[in-house]
Structure formats: C-alpha cells, structure tokens
Amino acid sequence: MTPEKLLDRSAKLLVADWKHLKRTFILPENDASRETLVKYMEQILFGLHDFLRTHVGITEAVSLNDLSLKFSDTTINKDPVDKLANVITELIEDIGPHAVNVASPFFIGHMTSAIPFFMVHLKTIVAALNQNVVKLETSKVVSVIERQVLAKIHRLIFEQSDEFYRLHVQSRDASLGAFVEDGTLANITALWVARNTAFAPRNEFQGIEAEGLSAAYQAHDIQRAVVLVSRMGHYSLKKAGGILGIGHQNVIPIEVDAKNRINASVLEKTIQAIKNDPVKTRILAMIGIAGTTETGSIDPLGRLADIAAEHGIHFHVDAAWGGPTLLSEKYRSRLRGIERADSVTIDAHKQFYLPMTCGMVYFKNPAHMDAIAYHSRYVNRPGSVDLGIKSISGSREANSLILYSALRIMGINGYALLINHGIDTARQFAEEIERRPNFELTTHPELNILTYRFCPQELRPDLTSADLSRRRHANKKLNLINHKIQRLQRETGKSFVSRTTLKLEKYEDEIVVLRSVIMNPMTHIEILKSILDEQEQIYLAELGDKTVRTVQNTLP
Amino acid sequence: MTPEKLLDRSAKLLVADWKHLKRTFILPENDASRETLVKYMEQILFGLHDFLRTHVGITEAVSLNDLSLKFSDTTINKDPVDKLANVITELIEDIGPHAVNVASPFFIGHMTSAIPFFMVHLKTIVAALNQNVVKLETSKVVSVIERQVLAKIHRLIFEQSDEFYRLHVQSRDASLGAFVEDGTLANITALWVARNTAFAPRNEFQGIEAEGLSAAYQAHDIQRAVVLVSRMGHYSLKKAGGILGIGHQNVIPIEVDAKNRINASVLEKTIQAIKNDPVKTRILAMIGIAGTTETGSIDPLGRLADIAAEHGIHFHVDAAWGGPTLLSEKYRSRLRGIERADSVTIDAHKQFYLPMTCGMVYFKNPAHMDAIAYHSRYVNRPGSVDLGIKSISGSREANSLILYSALRIMGINGYALLINHGIDTARQFAEEIERRPNFELTTHPELNILTYRFCPQELRPDLTSADLSRRRHANKKLNLINHKIQRLQRETGKSFVSRTTLKLEKYEDEIVVLRSVIMNPMTHIEILKSILDEQEQIYLAELGDKTVRTVQNTLP
C-alpha cells in the first residue's frame, strides 16, 4: 500500500460525527483497515527511532523560547483538527525531534535511559487491556499476577522462608508491598506506614490516621516526630515529611563520611541527643540509602540495621536506584543488610528498565500496611482481595504485568548482565578520568554512578595550597568552568552529563561536579572517552583563559 | 511469513548472553526482523481484541482460587524462561481471557470502559519516547506541551481572559495545574495546597510544610483543622485527611438532599457551629462534587461558591468524573459554579477516555501551588522550568502528550458526542427501569450514572406500608436479593453492573442498589434492556421464593 493510499484511508478516521466516532471504539474487521492500524504502529516503532538516533536532543537548535511560543494557543479546537495519521506523523516528525533522546548511549546524565524494545510492546499490551488494578472487578487475573510479582521481589529483598511465601503470596490478609507511581510515592508510603505504626491507637485514642497528628502527639505524650537520613538523601524524603505533617525540617540530615555514606557514629550521637532532648521526640524512621541519587553511594546497611534494632526504630531503605543490584551475584553483597529493613523502595523504571514510570515499596511484615487501609461501599470492601485497600493511589494501571513479563524474558541472569556492565564500565570510566591530567574524580563509583570535574592542570597546585583563600578561590573558578562546560556540552546536543553540587571532605566549600550514570548497555568506554574529549575541547575553545580571567576580576 | 518462521526468528530474542541482550536495546535494521516486531504489535492490537470481545470476563469459569494457585511461584527464574514471542502469546491467549473485558458494552458497572483504539497508539508513542516529565533535561518539548495542555483545560474550567493565558501558559512562575497518577492524588494535592495556604508562614513560624502540623496549630492558635464534604464524597478525601495529618475523622460528612446533593443549609449550620465551637477550628477546605462516584450527582456548585466566598474558605471541586461534561454545550450548565472554585480535580482516564491512568488537578490562582514547591541540587533548581518542582510525585510519564493529541483528534465536539450519548442513554435506561414493575429506580441520572434495584412486585406494598417493621423487613429481603442477583450475574460473565449501599430519604435503613455507569458509546438501550432481562431471569430461576423464605426464617 502506498503512503498516499494510507493517508486517504485514514481520512475516514476523522471524528466528525457519531458514526465515525463510534468506529474509533471498534477495531476494524476488514484487512485493509487493520493494515492501516498496524502501519501506524510500524511508524511509531521505527519512525521515532530513526529520529532519535541522531542526537541527544537538549540542543539549543530550537530554543525553549521558540518552543514555548509554538505551544501557546490555550483554546481547545471545537472540531477535530487532524486525522489520526497526521497526529501520529506530527508526534514523530515535529515533536519527537525536540524531545530528549534518553536512549542515546551519549546520554549519561540522569537515571533515565534506553529500555529494551520489548518493553514498548509490553506497555502497549497494558494499554490495550486497560485494566484498573484498584479492584478485582476491573482486573481479575492481573491483580493475582501483581501479588505474585510483589512476592517475587519481596523474596529477592527479604529472603524469607518457602513457608512464608506459600502463606502470603495470594493471601487477602497479607500485603507484601505495593506498586506506586514512582520512588517519591514509595518513600511517602513507607513513611506513612511508619508514622501510623508509631502513633497507633492506644486507650481512647483511635490512631493518628483517624485523629490527626496533633491528637496523636497528645495521646502519645510527644512534642515532635523526626526522620533521620544522611544529607545525601533524596529530596522526596523531605517532601514526605512535609506532606505527612511532621514538617520537612524534622527530616534531619546526618553527616556523611569521605565516601558519601551516612556516618553511623554521628547517627548514633544524634539518636542519643534526641533521647536526652527535653523536647519529647519520637523517631519515626531512620533511612539507609542504597544508591544515593548524586553519587550512587550505599550506606552501611548492616550497621544501620543494628542501630535500628537496638533502638526499636523503623528502618527504611531507599533502594530506588540500587535495589536491582540484588540480581547480580557479583555485586549483591554491597547491599548486605537490606534484608533486615522494615521497608524498601525500588523503582522498576530505573534498573528494571521498565518504561516511565513504575515505583514499588515493600514491607517485611505482611501486616504492616494494615496501618493505611481504606474501604468504601462500592469497592475495596473489608475482606475483599482488592489491591486498592492499602495504596496511596486509587485507580492504577497494571505496570506489574510488565515486570512480570520482563522477569520471564530476562531472568536474573539477563538483568545481572546489565547491572554488571554498568558498574564495570563506571570503574573503567573512573580510571580514565584519573589518568587524565585535566580531570579530577570527585566520587568513586560504588555502583554505576560517579562524579568528576574538569580541572585544568594549571589550577592543581592552588587546590592543594596551604593558603585557604587560594584554595577557595581555585574552587570558585572551577565551579564556574564546570557549570559552563556542562551547559555548552548540553546545548551542542551530542552528549549529556548532568551537574550537581557536592560538599567533599577535602574542600571547604560546595563544589560543582559533573555527574554520570552508566545504565545504557550501549554506553562503552570509548563513548565515555569521547565525552571527556569534548569537554576538554569546549574548555579550550570557549572558556580557557577568558573564564579564569573573568573570575579573577570578580573576586576580591 | 509463516507463523513457524516468526517463532523461529524470535528464538534469537531469547536473552541468553550479552550479545543477545544488547540486541534488545537496538531496533533491528533488517526488514525481516522489523517485520517480526510489527507482527507482535498486530498480535497485540487484534489478538487481545478478539479474545476480549467474547465476554465481560469476571466469570467464575476459572475461579479466583484456581488463578491464585496458578500464580504462586515466588522465585525469580535464573535464566530467561521464555522468548518474547511466547510471552506475548501467553499474555494474549492465557492471561487476557482471565482479565476483565472493560471494553464490553455490557460492562456498565464501573468508571472504566472502552477507549478509542488510537489511545493505544498514543500510549505506545509515550512509552517509545520514554520521557520523564519531572524535569526539562529528560523531556524538553514534552514539558512545554504539558504546560499548554494544562492551560487548555484550565481555560475550559475557569474561563479566564486571553491576557491571563497569554501571560501564564508558558511562564516558569505560573502553575495552572499538574498531571498526577489519578483522582486520589489530585484530591490529595488540592488539599495539600489548601493546608499549606491555611497555615502559611507568619512571624517566626516558617509554615506548616517546614515545621509540621503541631507547630502550625500553635503558631496559628488553632486546635483542629477540618474539611467539609457531602457524605457522598469519594473515599480519597478521607485518605487525604489521614495522610496530610489532620486526621480522617476531621473530614466531616455533610448530609445530602433527596437528590444526593450536599444540603447547603446543613453545610452553613455546620460552618456556624464550627465558628462557635470552643475548640478553635480552621476549615481547610469545603468540597463540591461534580459527579458523585455512586450516583453521579452534582452538588449546587454556585451556592457552594457563595458560601466559600462569604466565609473565605478554599473551595475545591472534585470533578474527577463529571469534569469533561464542560465539553458538552447541551449539559455543561449543570456544572455552573465550577469556574468559581479554587481547585478542581479531573481524571483524564475517565471521561477523556485516556488509558489507565491520568489524573489532573487545577488551581485558579497560578501562584497557589507555590505552597508545595520543592527543590534539589541536581534537578528542579529554583527558577528552572522543571515541572517536578510543584508535584507530589517525582519521575512521571508524559500522559499529557496523549491528552494533547486526543484533543486534536476529537475536538470539543467529538467529546461532546460521547458525553451526550452517556447522559441521554442513562435517561432512557431510567425510563425503562421505571416502566418495569419488578424494578425500582433508586437514583435518577443527573449525569450518566444511575442506581436501581430489583424489586419484585409482590414486595411493593410492604415498602409503602405504614408498619415500620414491615418496611424494614421488606428492605432487608431486597438487600439480600439484589446482593445475590449482582453476584450471580457477574459470575455468569455476560454482563456486569456494580453494587453499593445507599441511604435514601424514603427508607429508614441503607439499601443495596445496583449501579450503572453509561460511558461506552456502544452501550445502547437494547443492551441495557437485556441486562434487566437477565436480572429478572436470575431472580426467577435461582432466587424467587427461596430467598424470600430464607430471609423470613432468619428474621424475628
């Protein structure tokens, strides 16, 4: 069939009247129309791909400003303005090229990457089934499968007995975890459960969920509730503190060691100080991070588990990033201690390589989530198996079906290949950075994330100078240089690293660093070298002496 | 290509080693492999459809128990257990048939229904692009488009001036709303904003988000915070009260009138009582419902807006269901007053017919969401245009792109056809129910939702009897009968209505009713008649005298 014919036929799909509208709810019976629909899918699978292959795409070729002007009409068209075929073509040809090619092996700046192409097929199945997992009446077998997947991942984390899983996998009384939108909602859910458990019903008091925080503090004779987490904790933890009513100031940042892991001694001293504080304070939870967002560092989970056990504190592990490392025989020991957590966050859209988005939260104790149960008259009735009973959201798509299928297709070993590639490649990258005189490795990769900065040789002596103001001055220069390199490289559109600011032990001030996340299996060391080369070239061509001079002029 | 060849080729897709694994990240270059991938899509589009067409599928042919046994293995396979082709086939042939055919025109029990087939294509595009809308660096143009869509729907609701939208549509300082996972998270977000606005920083106090609820009550000299909503309010509002720390008991249910709309006089008296209460109480928000979940009733929004204005209370409208009625010239006046709300919830996966799930929340005041802003060092920096700054979630998929495209394809008029069909058909259905001597219409459809019950003629006199115990006895019988009819009809698997319990003015006790939601354009009056016929047959064949007798025996 020629493209002209295709377009011609799709003209019939314009939703102009009731007859045509109804037709969009029925898949066509005749072969020609079926072929058209399949052609669209082909266009989606390969059209997008061809465009996206060409660049990373945060280029300034078309500025944000131009795009903003293009998308400023705020009325809704009265009649259909376009046929399906044209809308798909527009998405692929006009919009796709201005999206970001997160699938590029040169895109190593964020925790978003290429996904195996079959994930797109699986997501399409989920959309076509259009099940709502909030209740059995709109999902049936899909709810049953979700329970199974939850048990599989629970087992990967907590390694309970066969008997435990036999009992709980499909039991309506047990909740081993929940699928949520993303890691933020997983962390909120974990702390929500911890909060409600800490302020459970007692005597006349009906619990914090029913009576609220103010009544809870009174009933439990408490003046403040806090959460303890390293200062590298994800910002969603502060957000959780804000939403749950304890106040984000009460999510208390604990100092880290030279490897960006929580300093357990400082943590213990903080706990002691809280216990001695005249302000009566309840510690809702302490958090271990298995893969900090900025540096991929892993807190000493075993040590934290000891402390939590000693003081009877809820121990949550934020393994949104690092959780799937458990699938790697080679590296899973780095997460030792996670099995002693009370709750764990893992994102499936990160290192399980699912499409955006799919968060998960797990609880060791299958009754723990009872603390957040809600019922209604028409669904989620008490005693039903509806998954919506213990869930922050209501209606929810069946992303669990994607993870169920992906585990079958990949197996533990398939995922292990990806995990190992990321960590091994990050190590190679670190060695390469250390070999280059114009770069400084700022954090070693414990997982597949590292940070570094451009650091021209001539500035090195200043950094180790005995003169404090000279050291600070040099870092100020470097901050400016790295800020600019990152922006210019992004705008060139060929490759992308992100940037953040870190407080390292060896420097007085926060420094600007470049951040790399190696999760794309197509990202190999030669690509990484070329990214460093480009950064060096940007410095020489655009910044060099000029920047250094500018900074010098603006400094006292 | 023959199916055998297809299977043969797909054998190569088994992820057994690094080479094959990497291949799943690259779309194939040769025609034959491309054809295979497209074939899978064809199988997904039409295979599922053919299966699902045959039944509603909550049948007991395979019991929940059997399914639970089937999905009870909790280990993760070490090696890949299946090729992609087989996994897709399994999903279509083994799992699909045990999912629920929400697309059937006989499935009229929940707010989940058929979607236009092009929605599946659009969702596939979103998955293939795999953008993360939390920040510009992983979404670029898609964030810009999301802002435009937010402005379009904001305009549909609030009808502000051209100048207003010109200023705010793409301004980094303005937030007209947010895409969230579903209506529950939309309601939580609205009340989160309302809570933070009510307990804003003052003097030394840094605001409830930072310092928490207990400090906020102290700083504002308050002992309790409440939310007011009709007793028909969605259970997510109670959940919001629980999560946000005010306590779900403080989400206060207000009595409704004979049409299940909030009784505005009772509301006013409640507000007055709260003002006179010695317990110092802040009313965080009052809520109007535009389409109650159980009966589709619409609160008198204009009257509520007056009351909110008089008392200076945040006015939230939960239009998760009814919001898109604004697209219908014929029926939009039923929502009059919504334009005076401070915030509005609308679900796009309901009457915008998007795939599961896509919730939205809108704020009239573009600065209102500043109350929930969060920043981090590596994304969402102050002053950036990142959408994740004011959002309950972090990572998020670009469902806004689906709504953007659907509006182009359908136009206001296309959606209006669907809305009008639903309401008009529900009216016809109500008339049919009233015509039948063995049925009682329990709530008239204001939108496209109605409730009724099976009510055998012979019991009618009892219901209007002057003898109270006789009336109550009759209702008790009817509850049992309707409970059973609903279950048996569901288990037969041909059609599905849901059930709930309602407290009607005319009866002393809560009664069990059958609930119908007419949103599928293929659902017409003949189908609805056949559903009533089936219910009548079930009663005659299975229940009849027996039930009546059983109930009589168990009653005093």
Alpha carbons A238 and A188: distance in angstroms, whole number: 9
DSSP, res B47:
I
Return the pLDDT at A6. 39
d(CA A452, CA A429) in angstroms, rounded, equals 10
Instruction: With CB atoms and an 8 Å threshold, state whether A378 touches B498.
Output: yes
Q: Are A38 and A109 in contact (CB under 8 A)?
A: no
Q: How far apart are CA A478 and CA A499, in angstroms?
A: 13
Residue of A nearest to B88 (CA): A122
Question: Nearest by CB to A21, which of B84, B249, B414?
Answer: B414
pLDDT at residue A27 in the model: 78
Query: Which 3-state string (H, E, C) describes B360-372?
Result: EEEECCCCHHHHH
**Kind of pairing between the strands at A439-443 and A449-454:** antiparallel
Query: Chain B partners of A83 at a C-beta cutoff of 8 Å?
Result: 409
Confirm if B96 and B88 have CB atoms less than 8 A apart: no
Peptide bond into B54 cis (omega under 30): no
| Dist CA B148 CA B300 (whole Å) | 30
Assess B1–A contact: CB distance below 8 Å, yes or no. Answer: no
Q: Alpha helices of A296-390 — where are they, by DSSP H? A: 301-311
Task: Name the minimum distance, in Å, from the CA of A431 to any CA of chain B.
Answer: 23
C-alpha distance from residue B519 to each of A169, B325, B450 (Å): 35, 12, 12
Q: Mutation test of the interface with chain A: which of B59, B229, B243, B403, choosing the one with the most A Cβ atoms within 10 A?
A: B243
A220 to chain B, minimum CA–CA distance in Å?
13
Residue A504 touches partner B, C-beta closer than 8 Å: no
- Nearest chain A residue to B168 by CA: give it: A72
Say if CB A182 and CB A433 are below 8 A apart: no
Residue A186 CA, chain-centre distance (Å), reads 10
Tens-place pLDDT, residues A391-423: 999 999 999 999 999 999 999 999 999 999 999
3-state secondary structure B2-18: CHHHHHHHHHHHCCCCH
Interface of B with A in 177-196 (CB under 8 A): 181-185, 188, 192
Chain B: closest CA distance from residue A407 (Å): 7
pLDDT of residue A60: 61
Q: Which residues of A touch B394 (CB under 8 A)?
A: 182-184, 234, 236
Cβ of A6 under 8 Å from any chain B Cβ?
Answer: no
Amino acid at the residue B147: R
Of B278, B279, B291, which Cα lies nearest the Cα of B250? Answer: B279
Distance in angstroms (rounded) separating the CA atoms of residues B289 and B271? 18
Top-confidence residue, A8 or B154: B154
Q: E strands of B62-193, at which residues? A: 177-180
Q: Is A445 helix (H, G, I), strand (E, B) or coil?
A: coil
Give me the pLDDT at residue B544, please.
67
Centroid of chain to Cα B137? 31
Residue with structure tokens 């106090």?
A: B205
pTM of the model: 0.95
B324-327: list long-range contacts, CB under 8 Å, 24+ apart. B324/B350, B324/B351, B324/B352, B324/B415, B324/B419, B325/B290, B325/B291, B325/B351, B325/B419, B325/B423, B325/B447, B326/B156, B326/B157, B327/A76, B327/B156, B327/B412, B327/B415, B327/B416, B327/B419
Closest alpha carbon within chain B to A209 = B242
Is A548 a residue whose pLDDT tops 90? Answer: no
Q: What is the mean pLDDT of chain A?
A: 92
Give the type of residue at A103.
Answer: A
Of all residues in chain A, the percent with pLDDT exceeding 70 is 92
Residue type, B199: F
Query: Which of A287, A264, A301 is CA-nearest to residue A187?
Result: A287
Tell whether the model's pLDDT for residue A529 goes beyond 70: yes
On whether any CB of chain A is under 8 Å from the CB of B66, the answer is no
pLDDT in tens, A235-293: 999 999 999 999 999 999 999 999 999 999 999 999 999 999 999 999 999 999 999 99
User: ∠B237-B239-B245 over CA atoms, to 5°?
Assistant: 105
pLDDT in tens, A114-132: 999 999 999 999 999 999 9
- The pLDDT score that the predictor gives to residue A542 is 81
DSSP-assigned letters across all residues of A491-544: HHTS-B-EEEEE--TTSSS-EEEEEEE---TT--HHHHHHHHHHHHHHIIIIIH
CB contact under 8 A, A212 and B83: no
| Cβ neighbour number for residue A553 with a 10 Å cutoff | 7
Cβ atoms of residues A338 and A154 within 8 Å: no
Using a CB-CB distance cutoff of 8 angstroms, which residues of chain B are in contact with residue A376? 234-235
How far does A539 lie from chain B, in Å, by closest CA?
Answer: 22
Nearest to A489 by CA among A449, A436, A442, A543: A543
Q: Give me the domains of chain B, ranges plus CATH numbers.
A: 3-100 (no CATH), 183-373 (3.40.640.10), 413-554 (3.90.1150.10)
Hey, is B255 helix, strand or coil?
coil
- pLDDT of res. B368: 98
Q: With an 8 Å Cβ cutoff, is B302 touching chain A? A: no
Distance CA A555, CA A402 (A): 55
For residue B5, what pLDDT is reported? 43
> What is the C-alpha separation between A334 and A338, in angstroms, rounded?
10
Facing A21 at nearest CB: one of B135, B401, B521? B521
Is 60 exceeded by the pLDDT of residue A327?
Answer: yes
Q: In 3D, which of B407, B392, B402, B387 has the Cα closest to residue B128?
A: B402
3-state secondary structure A34-103: HHHHHHHHHHHHHHHHHHHCCCCCCCCCCCHHHHHHHCCCCCCCCCCCCCHHHHHHHHHHHHHHHCCCCC
Cβ–Cβ contact B515 with A under 8 A: yes
- Asked whether residue A384 carries a pLDDT value surpassing 50, the answer given is yes
Strand spans (E) along B305-448: 314-318, 343-347, 359-363, 439-443
Owner of token pair 């009229």: B108
CB-based contacts of A445: which residues, under 8 Å, 6+ apart?
Answer: A296, A423, A426, A427, A429, A430, A518
Q: Put the strands of the sheet holding A439-443 in their side by side order.
A: A439-443, A449-454, A511-517, A498-502
- Asked if B124 and A129 come within 8 Å (Cβ–Cβ), the reply is no
The per-residue pLDDT for B3 is: 39
Taking a C-beta distance cutoff of 8 angstroms, is the pair B155, B164 a contact?
A: no
| B123 contacts B400 by C-beta, under 8 angstroms | no
Residues facing residue A132 across a β-bridge:
none
Q: B115, A474 in Cβ contact below 8 A?
A: no
Long-range contacts of A424-431 (CB under 8 A, 24+ apart): A425/A518, A425/A523, A425/A524, A425/A525, A425/A528, A426/A296, A426/A450, A426/A516, A426/A518, A428/A525, A428/A528, A429/A516, A429/A518, A429/A525, A429/A528
pLDDT score recorded for residue B46: 87
Q: What are phi and psi of A309, to 5 degrees?
A: -65, -45
Query: Which of A13, A248, A385 has its CB closest to that of B209?
Result: A248
The one-character DSSP state at A205 is B
pLDDT at B322: 98
Q: Which residue has the tokens 């499936």?
A: A348
Partner A contacted by B156 (CB < 8 A): yes
Amino acid at B166: R
Q: Which two tokens stand for residue B425?
A: 């058909």
Contact A128 B44 (CB under 8 A): yes
For residue A142, the chain B residue with the least C-alpha distance is: B99
Q: For residue range A220-231, list pLDDT tens digits in order.
A: 999 999 999 999
Q: Where are the beta strands (DSSP E) in A277-413?
A: 281-289, 314-318, 343-347, 359-363
DSSP character at residue A256: B
- Give the C-alpha separation, B158 to B129, whole Å: 32
Q: Which of residues 415-474 of B touch A (CB under 8 A)?
A: 417-418, 421
pLDDT averaged per 10 residues in sequence order, chain B, 556 residues: 41 69 84 90 82 62 86 94 88 89 93 94 96 94 97 98 98 96 98 98 97 98 98 98 98 97 98 98 98 98 98 98 98 98 98 98 98 91 91 97 96 96 98 98 98 96 94 96 95 93 93 98 96 97 63 44
| Chain B residues touching residue A238 (CB < 8 angstroms) | 374
| Least confident range of A227-231, A325-329, A438-442, B12-16 | B12-16
- Reference B440, options B358, B540, B507; nearest CA is B507
- Rounded Cα distance, B145 and B165, in Å: 14
Report CB contact under 8 Å: B245, A208.
Answer: yes
Number of other CB atoms surrounding residue A537 within 10 Å: 12
CA separation for the pair B140, B160 (Å, rounded): 27
Tokens of B230: 């009709």
| pLDDT at position B550 | 52
pLDDT surpasses 70 at A367:
yes
Using the Cβ of A213 and the Cβ atoms of chain B, whether some distance falls under 8 Å is answered with: yes
Number of Cβ within a 10 Å radius of residue B533: 11
Tell me the two tokens of residue B328. 């219908």
Question: Does A210 sit within 8 Å of B22, measured CB to CB?
Answer: no
Q: Which residues are within 8 A (CB) of A276 and not within 5 positions of it... i.e. 6 or more apart? A: none
